[in-house]
Amino acid sequence: MSAHADTHAHEDDHGHHHKETFVTKYIFSQDHKMIAKQYLVTGTIMGVIGVLMSMMFRMQIAWPEEPNVLFEALLGKWAPDGVMDADIYLALVTIHGTIMVFFVLTAGLSGTFSNLLIPLQIGARDMASGFLNMVSYWLFFLSSVIMVISLFVEAGPAAAGWTIYPPLSALPMAQGGSGMGMTLWLVSMAIFIASSLLGSLNYIVTVINLRTKGMSMTRLPLTIWAFFITAVIGVISFPVLLSAALLLIMDRSFGTSFFLSDIFIQGEVLHYQGGSPVLFEHLFWFLGHPEVYIVILPAMGLVSEIMASNSRKPIFGYRAMIASILAIAFLSTIVWGHHMFVSGMNPFLGSVFTFTTLLIAIPSAVKAFNWITTLWKGNLQMNPAMLFSIGFVSTFITGGLTGIILGDSALDINVHDTYFVVAHFHLVMGISALYGMFAGIYHWYPKMFGKMLNKNLGYIHFWITAVCAYGVFFPMHFIGMAGLPRRYYTNSNFPLFDDLANVNVIITIFALIGGAVQIVYLYNFFSSIFFGKKATQNPWKSTTLEWTAPVEHMHGNWPGEIPHVYRWAYDYSKPGHDVDFVPQNIPLKDGEEELQH
Amino acid sequence: MTALLTIIVLVFILIAIWQMVKIFDLAQAKNENSQVATDKDNTLNAYLMMGFLAFIYIITIVCLVKWGDLPLMSNSASAHGPTIDNLMVISMVIIFFVQTVTQFLLHYFAFKYKGEKGKKALFFADNNKLEAIWTIIPVIVLAGLIIYGLNTWINIMGVDESDDPLVVELYAQQFNWKARYAGADNTLGKANVRLIDIDRANILGIDEADPNAQDDVITTELHLPVGKPVLFKMRSQDVLHSAYMPHFRAQMNCVPGMITQFGFTPTVTTAEMRETPQMQEKVKRINNIRVENSKPLLAKGEEPLESYEFDYILLCNKICGKSHYNMQMKIVVETQEEYNAWIKEQKAFKNSLIN
């Protein structure tokens, strides 16, 4: 009863709210839909920077130490006569990893879609705290700005790898990038973590408290389940990275020895005594591994939703999907040691982590089979979002399978830190999560901007990207199994690897084409905002609540009362109905039974 | 100038895309232009799905045929190597089987059940039997892999001191490797970076007062007698490094402030490895490439690339700074006699100091 009164109070508020200025509407907005768009645009800009960096270092790997006009134009003093410097190579690799993992696939993906979809799909007027939500975005923006500024410091940006293991990252004399560049990296990440925590707390509170009448947990779309659990993992693991970053700042600037001991560098012994770099690895990977699930779970949620809608079929095994999300979330926090099999950690611990790591394959397999079964006997609508979803399942399987090699400590000995690892994680979390993000953008663009994306450009975008993604990362497994280490500026000092040079050229060509075709997507994205075809209210004929809201954005999402929910989110092609979808806000017919899903 | 050119090219690309969009739109019937997939789109993309499946299979076969003679899946040169390789092959077979089947199902379903107007999908939301099947099968397969894997891991990592292994220290610094042999007593002298005295050439910080240290031998090449277990003790003086010896299926990080270890028994001498047909073919292939790459150098009047002869190597495999990509050490596996002759020529620690 009291919940009902609240709703009314909210509506009254909404009835005579203050007039919006440009600043409150577009910049310091507290509206979840605008914040979602801000996340998406910021993430896109960071993504362009991250991808450009990968293009550059791929060219260096394929044609080592050859002059390149692009390097000369973009890298300036770091590419004397157009030849890339070895220091900046490592910096590019480092910042590419940081930007893609955190700024694009964490904030850009989860930030965008959690913000957009949580209130709309659970039937809430907005996030639990619009103010915190705004603060969360602006902290993210600030951290992005600091990360970009760090690219311009005198001694170069952070270059110790995105994992920033000390002592390399702790000692400015160990490499140029460990000076001011690393300080800015750490500051940027600390702010990023604060942003992420505020966002996550908001998502959790909103999902738990603000679901509309009838929206029980087992009627939630899988997207919401994925965002909810992602936020929980984030809240558990991000603070640990924050502590690691703070301790590293202490070591760097205040002379403590948390991670450092017995160091002799450039002719002198440093005072550090008693710390251990392995401690940092533990702290880092306690976030670092859950982080890959923070990246992939939202993509899984989006894909589940899009697949069901475009197959015109319920998602297969709804409860098993939730159970596997929960299982993955639980296991994700107890597997971090598989990044450290050869770190000097006790081999017995290695055994434990092998065991827990390989267990993750079970819920992952369940999810993959459920997606495939969802397609079976469907009526598949091949919209670009659907193509990216199918692509997601494909790369997730290809990349995921090699996880059973890397998770096996005995096998990891020999492929650890080779290109095999690079191939594995790019397919399973990089490309897959990007596909999930693209799928989400193609599917919910009408909701975000009230316009449709051009589908033909979407098809071109998907097919060329899909071919290039395999062209880049599939051969990479093989050069990894041949023993080629990652993060090498050039392999020309090892004649042993000479016969792999042509593979690297092929990979780079695929990468350049794949990178270039993203221009098609960017064109589609930005031009459709202005010139796209006007969207109808429910263009994909979906069942979830966001498609019952008007196309034009408004504060509070729905004019009048919030829709009530009477069924789960997947009543597609349900027998006994004339249409092939029944939205969640349609009451059950007389005698109709809700599926015991 | 470059920037201007780049901008011009970008503008042209954008115009080209814009024109393409117009052509697409004109080619479409007016009422169809809702940007939602039509039956025609469904059919086209369904066929492309099958094409893509073929592409995945082809790229798999091409990679296997062209680059599948993986030196890391055969030709191991250590006693434990074949056990890792076996496990690798088993895992690979499982992976390729699952990959082939699941990719087929995924893409074939996407093709077979392409959308048509008026068709209704099957309302199939749940089936506990199916869920149980694809939970239990992975459980069984993974149980097997876990048991096999852990067994292999424990065997590799458990160093049996009763084998009386040859103790060798691997010492890492930016950006080179040193090896320290324990000498006749097979006990390494105590060491700490605080004892480093460059002026006296005590570069590894060995305790000059320790009696065990006197006969230690420091070298820049790693020589190992074949068939004898060797136990590596690893140290680093500055940042993390990783001692990666791919042919021996061996890797361990070198951590400042801590001693890590890894043990194995080399089983194939360098000379024997050079004689194997696989290696000869590989070396020939590499030398052809090097001859090819030398041509432009010769044209410029520079020295051609040296011809390659196989050697085992130790690489740094943990990012360690600017010259990480060139931090290597040659490993020579030889007979006990050859090893004895070589070690005798090396200077003992006490004689290498500058007084």
In tens, the pLDDT along A322-353 reads: 999 999 999 999 999 999 999 999 999 999 99
Q: What is the mean pLDDT of chain A?
A: 92
The pLDDT of residue A541 is above 90: yes
Which residues, including other chains, have CB under 8 Å from residue A594's CB and lie 6 or more apart?
A566, A567, A568, A588
* CA-based nearest residue to A569, from A550, A546, A553, A552: A546
Cβ contacts of B234 on chain A, cutoff 8 Å: 344
pLDDT-derived band of residue A592, with 50, 70 and 90 as boundaries? confident
User: If chain B, 355 residues long, is cut into consecutive pieces of 10 residues, what is the mean pLDDT of each piece?
Assistant: 76 83 72 81 95 95 82 77 92 94 96 91 90 92 93 88 89 94 91 91 92 93 95 95 95 95 95 91 92 91 90 94 94 96 92 84
* CA pair distance A444, A33, nearest whole angstrom: 11
Amino acid identity of residue A176, one-letter, is G
pLDDT-derived band of residue A74, with 50, 70 and 90 as boundaries? confident
Q: Does B201 touch chain A (CB under 8 A)?
A: no
B328-334 and B222-225: which strand pairing? parallel
Q: Residues, chain B, total?
A: 355
Q: Which one of B319, B326, B328 would you mutate to disrupt binding with A, by most A Cβ within 10 Å of its Cβ? A: B319
Between chains, do A174 and B63 touch, taking CB under 8 Å as contact? no
Q: Which residue of B has its CA nearest to A85?
A: B322
Contact criterion met (CB below 8 Å) for A303 and A222: no
Which of B 221-250 lie inside 8 A of A, CB atoms? 234, 237-240, 242, 244, 246, 249-250
Q: Which one of A171, A280, A392, A414 would you mutate to disrupt binding with B, by most B Cβ within 10 Å of its Cβ? A: A414
Cβ contacts of A262 on chain B, cutoff 8 Å: 192-194, 237, 256-257
Q: What is the Cα gyration radius of chain B?
A: 30
Between chains, do A380 and B41 touch, taking CB under 8 Å as contact? no
Which residues, including other chains, have CB under 8 Å from residue A77's CB and lie 6 or more apart?
none
Which residues, including other chains, have CB under 8 Å from residue A178's CB and lie 6 or more apart?
A158, A159, A160, A168, A169, A170, A171, A172
Looking at the partner chain, which of A269, A410, A499 has a beta carbon nearest the beta carbon of B196? Answer: A269
Name residue, tokens 């006693």.
B79
Contact criterion met (CB below 8 Å) for B316 and B327: yes
Which residues, including other chains, have CB under 8 Å from residue A146's CB and lie 6 or more apart?
A184, A187, A188, A191
* CA pair distance A420, B113, nearest whole angstrom: 35
In tens, the pLDDT along A358-409 reads: 999 999 999 999 999 999 999 999 999 999 999 999 999 999 999 999 999 9
Cβ contacts of B324 on chain A, cutoff 8 Å: 90, 487-489
Once rounded to an integer, what is the mean pLDDT over residues A462-485? Answer: 94
In tens, the pLDDT along B217-260 reads: 999 999 999 999 999 999 999 999 999 999 999 999 999 999 99
Between chains, do A410 and B83 touch, taking CB under 8 Å as contact? yes
Q: Which residue of A has its CA nearest to B290?
A: A498
Cβ contacts of B98 on chain A, cutoff 8 Å: 397, 401
Between chains, do A264 and B237 touch, taking CB under 8 Å as contact? yes
The pLDDT of residue A270 is above 70: yes
Once rounded to an integer, what is the mean pLDDT over residues A31-50? Answer: 95
**What is the CATH number assigned to the segment(s) A32-259+273-548?**
1.20.210.10
Cβ contacts of A574 on chain B, cutoff 8 Å: 123
The pLDDT of residue A20 is above 70: yes
Count CB atoms within 10 A of the CB of residue A596.
7
Looking at the partner chain, which of B33, B106, B322 has a beta carbon nearest the beta carbon of A393? Answer: B106
Cβ contacts of B122 on chain A, cutoff 8 Å: 313, 376-378, 573
Q: Does B71 touch chain A (CB under 8 A)?
A: yes
* CA pair distance A379, A541, nearest whole angstrom: 13
Q: Residue A4: what pLDDT?
A: 45
Q: Does B70 touch chain A (CB under 8 A)?
A: yes
Between chains, do B95 and A366 touch, taking CB under 8 Å as contact? no
Between chains, do A278 and B157 touch, taking CB under 8 Å as contact? no
Looking at the partner chain, which of B6, B87, B121 has a beta carbon nearest the beta carbon of A411? Answer: B87
The pLDDT of residue A263 is above 80: yes
Between chains, do A483 and B72 touch, taking CB under 8 Å as contact? yes
Burial of residue A82 (number of CB atoms within 10 Å: 0-12, 13-18, 19+): middle
Distance from CA of A349 to the nearest CA of B (A): 11
Between chains, do B99 and A401 touch, taking CB under 8 Å as contact? yes
Between chains, do A500 and B205 touch, taking CB under 8 Å as contact? no
* Sign of the C-alpha dihedral computed for residues B66, B68, B74 and B77 taken in this order: positive
The pLDDT of residue A442 is above 70: yes
Once rounded to an integer, what is the mean pLDDT over residues A279-290? Answer: 94
Cβ contacts of A570 on chain B, cutoff 8 Å: 125
Which residues, including other chains, have CB under 8 Å from residue B128's CB and lie 6 or more apart?
none
Distance from CA of B183 to the nearest CA of A (A): 25
Q: Does B84 touch chain A (CB under 8 A)?
A: yes
**Omega into A167 within 30° of 0, i.e. cis?**
yes
| pTM listed for this prediction | 0.93
Q: Residue A10: what pLDDT?
A: 46
Q: Residue B355: what pLDDT?
A: 75
Q: Residue A103: what pLDDT?
A: 96
Which of B 245-304 lie inside 8 A of A, CB atoms? 246, 249-253, 255-258, 260, 282, 285-286, 289-290, 293
Helix and strand totals (H; E) in chain A: 21, 4
Q: Which residue of A has its CA nearest to B20?
A: A457
* CA-based nearest residue to A147, from A283, A251, A49, A290: A49
Between chains, do A414 and B246 touch, taking CB under 8 Å as contact? yes
Above pLDDT 90, what percent of chain A?
A: 85
The arrangement of strands across the sheet holding B166-173 comes to B217-219, B176-181, B166-173, B230-236, B260-264
Which residues, including other chains, have CB under 8 Å from residue A376's CB and lie 6 or more apart?
A316, B109, B113, B122, B124
Distance from CA of B342 to the nearest CA of A (A): 25
Between chains, do B87 and A410 touch, taking CB under 8 Å as contact? yes
